[in-house]
Structure 1
Amino acid sequence: MSDSINYARLDGIHSLAGAIVFAIAYVPLFFYYLLQSTRRPTYVFIMLTVFCTIRITSFILRSILAGSSSAGENLNLFIADVIIYNVGFFGLLYSAYTLVLDRELVADPEGKHSSSLGPLAIITRLMRNRHLIRLALTIAVVLGIIGGTDETSSNSSTLSTGNTLRRASIYIFLVVTCLLVIETFLFAIAEHTGAPDYRRSSGEPFGTKHAVLILLVISMLLVTREAFFAATSTNLSKQENEHFWYPLSALPELLAATLFAVPGLVPARKELPESRSAWA
């Protein structure tokens, strides 16, 4: 009788302590964003609540896989952990993108700075199309789920297709993350140069006053995470190596999720102008 395969060990899941620490770290964030979703219901807080729920679930599964040999040999449990973790990034990335667009709306409700960009206005308008961004991220999630499932197949053709779909998912996430960085830098430049009709916040909470700086840090954390996945997309052993995975994937996500909790960073729904639909 052949030995059983421990898929978790084979995929580089070894640290029980690391998984437990990250699962616990997301618990207070979950309750905070859940409370904010109740008191100040906004899309950002709701999505962050969902993200934290997914991350807690993912790290609990990861701790089970790392701490139990029999669990590590359960292929379905292993696949579930991989899929849940990858799907969760949608919530964090789209929350960041939504927050940048919302902050731009609060600062420039009429979109006058965008229209002053000339030919670039068309490109920026596409970048600010929430439906388009959401569609791209949804496609990335679907491809990631299918690819993650196919990668466990014993059929070489299906396995190859799974690898291709998984990489396509990673690259789509990377492109959207890069667009987030560009959009955030455009926002920062507009505020720094004091563009005409660009309103700045003064005498506001720390998160409102320093929103651009915080958003820049969040975007750089997310691009670090996704750049790591893209750079290791053809080398799964390095991608799943916990010496790289925790500091370059798990930690940037946790830090980014924590920064959303800075008081005043996320605008209340009443602060958003009615013209938001024109940016959607």
Structure 2
Amino acid sequence: MSSNSINYAALSGIDSVSAAVIFAILFLIAGAWFVRQTIKNTTQVHIVLILFCAIRVTAFILRAIMAHSTSQGSNLNLFITDQVLLAVGFFALVYSAYTLVLDRDVLAGGERQGIFSPNLLRNARGFRLILSVGVALGITAVTSSTSSDPGDAATGKTLRKAGTAIFLALTVIQLAQSVLFFSNQGYSKSSVRSWGDRNGRYLLCVVSLLMLVREVFVTATINDASKQNDERLWYPLVVLPEFLAVLCYSVTGLVPTRAALKKAENK
């Protein structure tokens, strides 16, 4: 049997065109909002979120194409591209949350720590490095899992489990970071500040919990591909939490301005 006769999309549960199109549109709108925010206030968080939304829009467009067309669903390169984009995108979402907690901690009087700090709750470069390892494992897992060689396919499954474990661990760390910030954050309840600024601590915890829901589901179904890929579960437990997290990021005032961060760091 030739590889072109295998419908990779169908085997992976890619079936709904409408759901893919809806989320492509939703992430496109969200991305456009962050572009607008970047024009007003260029921050690392906004730039990373624009990248995340662009990755998700592209992935869902590819998913819609594969669900709509059997011939495209049998296109291995298209399928691998879609899976890689889905794997890579979560990096941006987790790192945005982590960076945002650090930025808001600085506003609350905290200090940034250096690259050699053993405290992963405050070591941005160390956190990013481990995240990158998880992404690399995920990408390698996708390409290996689609191999016709049983050995490569088994290696792909192992790498996928390792990458998933890393992302789950870092998501838990990010949640702990948010809770710690929530406990220690000392802003006054000034009416001058925007709602998103005043309630940033709560929004950050919500974002962290949403990402944890996603990762717990992915981890719990790691050995049951049919359940994990079931769109009746995948969309509400993987995609929807991501989009709701993005909505939280879009609340005006949550992401500190460059000027505010520089002022806090120079105190």
Please give the range of the TM-score, normalised by the shorter of the 2 chains. Answer: over 0.9
| Aligned ranges 1:165-244 → 2 under 5 Å | 165-191=159-185, 198-203=186-191, 204-244=193-233
Deviations 1:146-165 (A, max 9, x none): 11100011111111111111
Question: Which blocks of at least 5 consecutive residues in structure 2 are unaligned?
Answer: none
- SS for the counterpart of 1:265 is coil
Name 2:256's counterpart in structure 1. 267
Name 1:16's counterpart in structure 2. 17
Counterparts of 2:188 and 2:164, CA distance in 1: 36
Question: Which blocks of at least 5 consecutive residues in structure 1 are unaligned?
Answer: 115-121, 192-197
Q: Give the counterpart letter for 1:217 in structure 2.
A: V
Name 1:118's counterpart in structure 2. none
- SS for the counterpart of 1:264 is coil
| Aligned ranges 1:72-151 → 2 under 5 Å | 72-110=73-111, 125-151=119-145
Counterparts of 1:12 and 1:276, CA distance in 2: 49
Contact 2:196/2:252, CA 8 A, preserved across alignment = yes
Q: Give the counterpart letter for 1:175 in structure 2.
A: A
Counterparts of 1:249 and 1:168, CA distance in 2: 19
CA distance 1:274–1:141, shift in 2 (3 Å):
farther
Deviations 1:187-208 (A, max 9, x none): 11123xxxxxx34352210100
Is 1:6 the equivalent of 2:15? no
Deviations 1:8-41 (A, max 9, x none): 0110000111000000111111111112122211
Name 2:32's counterpart in structure 1. 31
Number of aligned positions between the proteins: 261
TM-score relative to the length of structure 2: 0.93
Contact 2:28/2:53, CA 8 A, preserved across alignment = yes
Counterparts of 2:188 and 2:34, CA distance in 1: 26
Name 1:119's counterpart in structure 2. none
Contact 2:105/2:111, CA 8 A, preserved across alignment = no
Deviations 1:168-196 (A, max 9, x none): 111111111000110111111123xxxxx
Contact 1:110/1:275, CA 8 A, preserved across alignment = no
Counterparts of 1:137 and 1:200, CA distance in 2: 34
Report the RMSD for the aligned CA atoms in angstroms.
Answer: 1.9
Deviations 1:117-155 (A, max 9, x none): xxxxx86x3321000010011111111001110001111
Contact 1:61/1:81, CA 8 A, preserved across alignment = yes
Contact 2:109/2:264, CA 8 A, preserved across alignment = no
Name 1:117's counterpart in structure 2. none
Q: Give the counterpart letter for 2:250 in structure 1.
A: A
Q: Give the counterpart letter for 1:93 in structure 2.
A: V
Contact 1:109/1:273, CA 8 A, preserved across alignment = no
Counterparts of 1:145 and 1:165, CA distance in 2: 9
- SS for the counterpart of 2:14 is coil
- SS for the counterpart of 1:267 is coil
| Structure 1 stretches of 4+ moved >6 Å | none
